[in-house]
Amino acid sequence: MDEAQFWDLVDSAHREAGLDVARKVAALKTRLAALSLDELREFCAIWDRTMNRAYDWKLWAAAYVIHGGCSDDSFSDFRATVISLGRATFEAALRDPDTLLEVARAAGGELCEEDLNYVPSDVWGARTGGESRPSSVPHQEEPHGEDWGTDDLPRIVPKLWKAFGS
C-alpha cells in the first residue's frame, strides 16, 4: 500500500457515496476489509500521516467558521471528513481552505462526521478480533502554521466567512 493506492481507495469510496456519510463509511469499510493485514496496517499509517498533514491552523479556521466553532475532537472529525472527500479536494483545501465552500454548502454545513474518523480502527478491530489498531505515526502535537483569533477569520477564510460566519 502506497499513497497512490491509499487515495485510490478513498477516491473510489467518495465517487460511490458522494456526501452520504453512511454509504461512504460502508464503502470504505468494504474496501479496507478486502486488504491484507499488512496493506491495512499501511493504510492506517498513511491515514495517520494524512491526518497530521491536515492538522493545520488555516484548515481549523475553515472548520470553525463552517460549524460556528470547533473543538479539538471535532477538528479531528473534520479532518477525517475532508480526507474522505478525496485527494483533489483534500490537497486543494490544504492550499486554500476556502475551496471547501461548495462542498460545505452541498453538505448543509456539516463536514464534521465522527463515523468517518473511526473507519480504519473499526476495520482493524473487526479483522483482528478487537485489537487496537497499530499506530506507527505519532500524533502531530501542534497544528501547522500560525494560530489565529476569531477576529482573524474573515481574513483567513473570506469566502467561508461570507457564507457561514458573517
C-alpha 78/C-alpha 83 separation (Å) is 9
pLDDT confidence band for 139 (50 / 70 / 90): confident
- Global pTM reads 0.95
Single-letter code of the amino acid located at 49: R
Domain extent listing, the chain = 3-140+147-165
- Give me the percent of the chain exceeding a pLDDT of 70: 99
Q: Kindly state the DSSP code that residue 61 receives in the 8-state scheme.
A: H
Note the pLDDT of residue 98.
Answer: 98
Among residues of the chain, what percentage have pLDDT more than 90?
91
d(CA 120, CA 10): 12
Cell of 17: 457515496
Q: Does residue 1 have a pLDDT over 80?
A: yes
Predicted confidence at residue 136, as pLDDT, reads 77
138 has a pLDDT exceeding 90: no
Nearest CA among 50, 55, 60 for reference residue 4? 50
Distance CA 26, CA 5 (A): 18
